[in-house]
Structure 1
Amino acid sequence: MYLLDTNIILELLLDQDHADHVAAFLNQAAPDSLHISEFSLYSIGVILLRLKRFDLFLRSVKDLFLSEVIGLLQLGVEDMAKVSEVAQAFDLDFDDSYQYVAAEKFNLELLSFDRDFDRTPRGRKTLEEIM
């Protein structure tokens, strides 16, 4: 089971270099095996709305989340101490720390293009490793 980092979803939505690989992965993934953090959903919203991609944002929410292709997870206020601790311990920014703690809390493997996770004990998985 995987926690998809924000960059995985944006790669697909913005039709970037690895969009085809992301689409193939999503199509082959087992039901209920894919999750994203609520923070990632909001980050995707911030980016797509800043780009004036309103329809793309709404369509992606419908296609990915409302259709339950990807599960939505959130951390609580009680988890913020751990987020801060992880940021300090591994020199991560807030979004990476949030993702790391979410993956740890829900016992998921973190799928990301971000190499910053490589310096953490849990690390990350890449599309190449799991396909």
Structure 2
Amino acid sequence: MAYTMRYLLDTNIWLERLLDQEHSEEVGQLLAALPSDRMAMSDFTLHSIGVILGRLGSADVLVSFVKDIFINGAISLVTVPPVLMDNVASVMKRFGLDFDDAYQYVAAEQADAHIVSYDKDFDGTDRKRVLPADILANEV
């Protein structure tokens, strides 16, 4: 059986689309082209999006978003269990990442996924990062 590449989409990827930011169109193309069962999101990302949309008074957008990606879609929700917090701390020290980036890094390890992000901080890690444009050009 052939290996199918999986992708953990960082918080900034989802927010680009949800908040109609600079790369919204590109992210929309990625989400339309990539099968949802090849995408993952960390619980940290979900909670961050919830906080941001809540502050913007967009709780209805959050509910619709969750229904679209988890209930109607097949996107995986990845949790880093407490027993792996030492891994998160180690990644923070090794690569100089803040907690949220280190959490995403370990979540990607857990999901055996590549990190899709506009955050350049991942460039200095072993896992690197992939841009939506890279996936669109090479995969779909």
Report TM bin, short chain. over 0.9
**Residue in 1 that maps onto 2:79:** 74
Deviates more, 1:66-75 or 1:94-103: 66-75
Deviates more, 1:55-64 or 1:40-49: 55-64
Counterpart among 74, 90, 95 of residue 100 in structure 2: 95
Pick aligned residue for 1:25 from 10, 30, 33: 30
Q: Which amino acid aligns with 1:44?
A: I
Of all paired residues, the percent bearing the same amino acid is 46
Number of the residue aligned with 1:2: 7
- 1:97-121 Cα deviation digits (max 9, x unpaired): 0000111122100000000000001
Instruction: Report the secondary structure of 2:48's partner residue.
Output: helix
- Separation (CA, whole Å) in 2 of partners of 1:68 and 1:80: 29
- Of the three residues 122, 127, 130, the one matched with 2:132 is 127
- 2:55 and 2:45 map into 1 onto residues whose CA distance is 15
Q: Deviations over 1:16-59 (max 9, x none)?
A: 11111111111110241000001110010011101111111111
Shift of 1:87: 0.5
When the two chains are superposed, the root-mean-square deviation of aligned CA atoms in Å is 1.0
Find the aligned partners of 1:31 and 1:53 in 2 and give their Cα distance.
24
Q: How far has the Cα of 1:69 moved from its partner?
A: 3.9
- SS of the residue aligned with 1:3? strand
User: What letter is aligned with 2:26?
Assistant: H
- The two structures have a TM-score, normalised by structure 1, of 0.96
Q: Give runs of aligned pairs for residues 31-70 of structure 1, distance below 5 A.
A: 31-70=36-75
- 2:40·2:111 contact (CA, 8 Å) conserved in 1? no
1:68 Cα deviation from its structure 2 partner: 2.5
Change (3 A) 1:31 1:9: closer
Give the TM-score normalised by the residue count of structure 2: 0.90
Secondary structure at the residue paired with 1:32? helix
Which consecutive unaligned segments of at least 5 residues does structure 1 have?
A: none
* Runs of 4+ off more than 4 Å: none
In structure 2, runs of 5+ residues without a counterpart are 1-5
Shift of 1:123: 0.3
- Residues paired across the two proteins, number: 131
